[in-house]
Structure 1
Amino acid sequence: MSTIKLWIDPITRIEGHLGLYAEVDAATRAVSVAKTTVMMFRGFEVFLRGRPPEDAIAITSRSCGVCGAAHANASTRACDAAAGMTPLPMGNVLRNLAYAMTDYTYDHPLILNMLEGPDYSELIVSKLTPSVWQTAQQTPAKYSSIHGYRTIADIMRDLNPIQGRIWQLTVKYQRIAREAGVLIYGRHAHPATLIPGGISTDITNLASLLQEYYARLSLLTAWVKFVWAIWQDLYEFFRDHVSTPDGQPYALTQGKTHDPPVMLAGGWSDDPEVYSNIYDEAGGDWVKMYSLLDKAYNARWEKPGFAIGHEIYSPNPTEIQLGYLEFADSSFYEDWVKANVAPPYGWLKTDPLGRELAYGTDLYKYHMWNRTTIPKPGAINFAEKYTWAAEPRLLLKDGKIAPIETGPISQLWLNTLHATKVEVDNHKAWESNGSQLKVYLPGGTVNPDLPPGTAEELVITWNLPKYSTTMERLLARAVHLALVVSLAWANLLYAFKLINAGKIQTSRPWSYGKWPSFSYSFGWWQVPRGNCMHWLVQQNGRLANYQYEAPTTPNVSPTNNRCTDPWKGQCAGPFEMSVRNSKVTEEVPPDQWTGLDLVRAIRSFDPCLACAVHFEAKGEGGRVYNVIEKVIWNACSL
Structure 2
Amino acid sequence: MATQDGIVEMAWDPITRIVGSLGIYAKVDFNNNTVADCYSTSSVFRGYSIFMKGKDPRDAHFITSRICGICGDNHATCSVYAQNMAYGVRPPHLAEWIINLGEAAEYMFDHNIFQENLVGVDYCEKMVRETNPGVLALAERTPAPHAEDHGYKTIAGIMKSLNPLEGEFYREALQVSRSTREMFCLMEGRHVHPSTLYPGGVGTVATIQLFTDYLTRLMRYVEFMKRVVPMHDDLFDFFYEALPGYQAVGQRRVLLNCWGSFNDPDHCDFTYKNMAAWGKKMFVTPGIVVDGRLVTNDLVDINLGIRILLGSSYYENWTDKDKFVTHDPLGNPVDIHHPWNQHTIPKPGKRNFEDKYSWVMSPRWFDGKDHLALDTGGGPLARLWSTALSGLVDTGYVRATGHSVEINLPKTMGAPEKTFEWKIPMWNGEPLSNAIERNRARTYFQAYAAAQALYFVEKALAEIRAGHTKTWEPFKVPDEAISVGFTEAVRGVLSHHMVIKGGKIANYHPYPPTPWNASVRDEYGTPGPYEDAVQNTPIFEENSPENFKGIDIMRTVRSFDPCLPCGVHMYMGNGKSLDRVHSPHAFTGEG
TM-score in terms of structure 1 length: 0.88
Q: Is structure 2 residue 245 aligned with structure 1 residue 290? A: no
Residue 436 of structure 1 aligns with which residue?
404
Q: Are the equivalent residues in 2 in contact too, given 1:332–1:375 (CA < 8 A)?
A: yes
Equivalences for residues 426-575 of structure 1 within 5 A: 428-446=396-414, 455-465=415-425, 466-510=431-475, 514-562=476-524, 571-575=526-530
Give the root-mean-square deviation of aligned CA atoms: 1.7
Structure 2 partner of 1:355: 332
Identity value in percent: 33
* Residue number in structure 2 paired with 1:309: 291
**SS at structure 2 position matched to 1:231:** helix
Cα separation, 2, equivalents of 1:270 and 1:97: 11
- The CA deviation at 1:433 is 2.4
Q: Could you say which residue in structure 1 is the equivalent of 2:365?
A: 394
Offset at 1:631?
Answer: 4.2
Cα distance in 2 for partners of 1:356, 1:412 equals 31
Candidates 306, 321, 337, aligned match of 1:324: 306
Q: What residue is the counterpart of 1:254 in the other structure? A: 249
Q: 1:305–1:316: 8 Å Cα contact kept in structure 2? A: yes
CA–CA separation in structure 2 for the residues paired with 1:577 and 1:400: 17
One of 553, 567, 570 as aligned partner of 1:612: 567
Q: 1:581 — aligned with what? A: 536
Contact preservation (8 Å) 1:11, 1:634: no
Query: Is the CA contact (8 Å cut-off) linking 2:310 and 2:523 kept in structure 1?
Result: no
Shift of 1:46: 0.8
Task: Give the 3-state SS of the residue equivalent to 1:538 in structure 2.
Answer: strand
Q: CA deviation at 1:15?
A: 1.5
Q: Deviations over 1:421-440 (max 9, x none)?
A: 322xxxx1212222222111
Equivalent residue, structure 2, for 1:82:
86
Is the aligned partner of 1:209 residue 2:210? Answer: yes
Q: 1:413 aligns with which of 385, 393, 396?
A: 385
User: Which residue of 256, 271, 282 maps to 1:263?
Assistant: 256
Partner of 1:568: none
C-alpha distance 108-19 of structure 1, shift in aligned 2 (>3 A): same
Give, in whole Å, the separation in 2 of the partners of 1:17 and 1:230.
32
In structure 1, distance between residues paired with 2:579 and 2:457: 53
Q: For residue 422 of structure 2, what is the amino acid of its counterpart?
A: W
User: Displacement, 1:620?
Assistant: 5.6
Determine if contact 1:421/1:432 at 8 Å carries over to the other structure: yes
Counterpart of 1:30, as a letter, is T
Q: Is the 8 A contact 1:10 1:635 kept in 2?
A: no
Q: Does the CA contact (< 8 Å) of 2:405 and 2:422 recur in 1? A: yes
| Distance (whole Å) between structure 2 residues aligned to residue 620 and residue 350 of structure 1 | 41
Amino acid at match of 1:415: T
Deviation at 1:472, TM superposition (A): 0.3
Distance 2:504 2:146 in 1: 55
| Residues 502, 328 of structure 1: alpha-carbon distance in 2 compared, 3 angstrom cutoff | same
Q: Structure 1 runs of 4+ off > 4 angstroms?
A: 618-622, 630-635
Q: Could you tell me which amino acid in structure 2 is paired with residue 134 of structure 1?
A: A
Using the TM superposition, give the Cα deviation of residue 230 of structure 1 relative to its aligned residue in structure 2, in angstroms: 2.0
Question: Deviations along 1:41-95, whole A, 9 cap, x unmatched?
Answer: 1111111111111211011100111010111111111111111112111011000
In structure 2, what is the Cα distance between the partners aligned to 1:373 and 1:621?
Answer: 22
1:254/1:51 CA distance change after superposition, 3 Å: same
How far does the alpha carbon of each residue in 1:368-404 deviate from its partner, in whole angstroms, 9 at most, with x for none? 111011111111100101001110011113x222111
> Residue by residue, what CA displacement relative to the aligned partner does 1:2-31 show, whole Å, maximum 9, x if unpaired?
111111111101121111110011111111
- Distance in 1 (alpha carbons) for counterparts of 2:562 and 2:338: 24
Establish whether residue 47 from structure 1 lines up as the match of residue 29 from structure 2: no
Gaps of 5+ in 1: 280-288, 358-363, 447-454, 564-570
8 Å CA contact 2:257, 2:289 repeated in 1: yes
- Paired with 1:435 and 1:561, the residues of 2 have a C-alpha distance of 36
Find the residue that maps to 1:615 and give its secondary structure: coil
Count of residues in correspondence between the two structures: 579
